[in-house]
């Protein structure tokens, strides 16, 4: 039980920071009447890199898409996955309440508490496709840097950079959530649930695909064949 609470607390703190800092950057940009894309990319990338590094010894998921990816590859048991998901959704919602408390009501309404929205010229399937691709990159990098025992020890730095890059790429199209909890918290507090199917289906499809690919194809199951190992220069 104590171990479950430890994991819950790590996920709660990490996702709270992500939603508060990322959403706060969007709301601050709106308050100053500047385009929020670059501030959102920088804020989300930085805080995620920091909080993944701070929590990865205990959990470090901070995203239901990552947790479900771990679940389908049998890297976490279903009961603990449930603990992670509850922590993520609760932390995201409370962070949105905190944003609502510290920003003017007009900004909270206009930005949906830093939540995401789909561009008017995208249909639901296109938006899901965008989120699936972006989340595929994110979870692939999680497995390639935090799961693979042979991975470079860079903490959450590469994960944060991936989020920042994804936001710069598709932030103007879907908001580049890549994280169902990140979208759920502001949506449930603001009462604007539009597009939630996009922010659940897309990231879960992309996350599961990346987890299965990396786990099945790239993780070593023993020593590489001498004929198919690392490329070495000829003597």
Question: What architecture is the 2-218 domain classified under in CATH?
Answer: Up-down Bundle (1.20)
What does the DSSP assignment read for 118-175?
Answer: --TT--HHHHHHHHHHHHHHHHHHHIIIII-TTS---TTHHHHHHHHHHHHHHHHHH-
Residue 231 in this model has a pLDDT that exceeds 50 = no
Domain positions in the chain: 2-218
At 63-120, the pLDDT tens digits run: 999 999 999 999 999 999 999 999 999 999 999 999 999 999 999 999 999 999 999 9
- Please give the model's pTM, rounded to 2 decimal places: 0.91
- Cβ-count burial of 161 within 10 angstroms (0-12 exposed, 13-18 middle, 19+ buried)? middle
At 176-199, the pLDDT tens digits run: 999 999 999 999 999 999 899 999
């Amino acid at each position: 039980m104590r171990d479950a609470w430890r994991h819950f607390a790590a996920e709660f703190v990490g996702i709270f920071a992500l939603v508060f800092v990322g959403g706060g950057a969007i709301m601050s940009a709106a308050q100053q009447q500047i385009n929020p894309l670059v501030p959102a990319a920088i804020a989300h990338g930085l805080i995620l890199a920091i909080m993944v590094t701070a929590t990865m010894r205990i959990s470090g998921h901070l995203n239901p898409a990552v947790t479900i990816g771990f679940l389908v590859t049998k890297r976490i048991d279903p009961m603990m996955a449930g603990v992670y998901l509850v922590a993520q959704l609760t932390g995201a919602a409370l962070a949105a309440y905190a944003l609502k408390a510290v920003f003017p009501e007009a900004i909270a309404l206009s930005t949906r508490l830093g939540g995401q929205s789909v561009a008017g010229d995208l249909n639901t399937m296109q938006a899901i496709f965008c989120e699936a691709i972006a989340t595929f990159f994110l979870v692939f990098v999680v497995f390639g840097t935090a799961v693979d025992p042979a991975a470079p020890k860079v903490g959450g730095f590469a994960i944060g950079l991936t989020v920042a890059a994804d936001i710069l790429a598709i932030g103007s199209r879907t908001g580049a959530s890549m994280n169902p909890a990140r979208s759920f918290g502001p949506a449930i507090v603001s009462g604007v649930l539009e597009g939630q199917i996009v922010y659940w289906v897309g990231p879960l499809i992309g996350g599961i695909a990346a987890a299965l690919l990396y786990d099945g194809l790239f993780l070593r199951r023993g020593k590489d064949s001498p004929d198919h190992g690392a490329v070495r220069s000829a003597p």
